[in-house]
Amino acid sequence: MAKYMLIWRMTDEGLEAMQNADFTEMLESVGRFNDELIRAGVLLAAEGLEDASQGVVVDFTGESPVVTDGPYGETKELFNGYYILDVASKEEAVEWAKRVPSASGTKVEIRRVPTIDEFPQDNVWIQKERAWREATGQL
């Protein structure tokens, strides 16, 4: 099994559709999908994010960090939520992504989440992280 992150990205059209959608209906369809993921035993985490206008960006492209209040960037640069799934393959992650509800006007990016075992085990920082993960029940 491997972890994959499904990153839910909006387009301008998707954002407009979401703003005009019935919130109760949206909760129902997302809830049903989440329940499917839970029953299949593949859901590790899932969160929606607050509107970008409430966020900030810390930009490190200059000499010192610059903090900018939202909204920021173009809609296509933002993501509105994510799922982390524990599935057998990228292909299985793709199949789940194809079933994401209310996907009209959105894009779902899929990225594998490397495990701690893939990093140099003799590195002190990896050893500290492993100890923390073990102490918190994450390993």
Q: pTM (2 decimals)?
A: 0.80
- The CA distance from 56 to 17, in Å, is 24
Residue type for position 121: Q
Ordered by start, the domain boundaries in the chain are 2-135
- The CA distance from 130 to 139, in Å, is 8
Residue type for position 59: D
- The CA distance from 132 to 130, in Å, is 5
The predicted model gives 9-34 an average pLDDT of 82
pLDDT digits (tens, 9 = 90+) for 61-120: 999 999 988 766 666 667 888 999 999 999 999 999 999 887 667 888 999 999 999 999
pLDDT digits (tens, 9 = 90+) for 30-67: 899 999 999 999 999 999 888 777 888 888 999 999 99
Q: What is 2-135's CATH number?
A: 3.30.70.1060
